[in-house]
Amino acid sequence: MSTPRMKPLEAPYDDDTQKIFRKLMPEGMEPLNIFKTKAKHPKLFGPQMTVGGILLYGGELDRVERELLLHRTCARCGSKYEWGVHVNAFARRLAIPEEKIAGTISAAWDDPMWSDRESVVIRVADELHDTATLSDECWAALSEGWSEQQIIEMIAIAGNYHGISFLTNALRIELEPNAESELWDSLFLSGKKK
């Protein structure tokens, strides 16, 4: 990993920033490097974390589908940081099989490992990444299985995690010590990425 381009905010934090950190992090846990870096722009940090929190915790999507979508988005964007944080913080806690976690990097959307619904979720991430829109075929599959709110949420999640990937990659945010990185490295270094 290259040297970070921007040093994260250091404690002591102002009251407003500390309040946001308390909402984002379990008690006693240091804020993630991405949060400490984003906090250097307070006018964006609070509102962005509110939207991110809604998409992550208050949305309408199934949690496993949400994770597969954002993992695939981060993988397609090459964000080792965000992909790795979500593997340990969410995917493994949701008992997503390791094969499917790895598949967010290496498997095509039509790979037989995916259920019918998962295949659509992965396809949504791929099409939005590749074309910034959805094909009529993908839209038809979405319309059959998800509500309008869920479809809007999927598109918003993919967009949000593109933005997060841009930040983690361009700023070279330092990897978290407890984030998954070995699986990422083994797939990317072996050329097995999608």
Contact, 110 vs 126, CB < 8 A?
A: no
Residue 94 one-letter amino acid: L
DSSP state of 178: T
Q: Name the range with the highest mean pLDDT among 31-35, 110-114, 188-192.
A: 110-114
How much of the chain exceeds pLDDT 90, in percent? 61
pLDDT digits (tens, 9 = 90+) for 117-170: 999 999 999 999 999 999 999 999 999 999 999 999 999 999 999 999 999 999
Q: Single out the residue of 95, 99, 75 nearest to residue 85, CA to CA.
A: 75
DSSP state of 40: T
CATH superfamily of 65-189: AhpD-like (1.20.1290.10)
What's the chain's length in residues?
194
pLDDT digits (tens, 9 = 90+) for 74-131: 999 999 999 999 998 899 999 999 999 999 999 999 999 999 999 999 999 999 999 9
End-to-end CA distance of the chain: 21
What is the full DSSP assignment across 84-130? HHHIIIIITTTT--HHHHHHHHH--TT-TTS-HHHHHHHHHHHHHHH
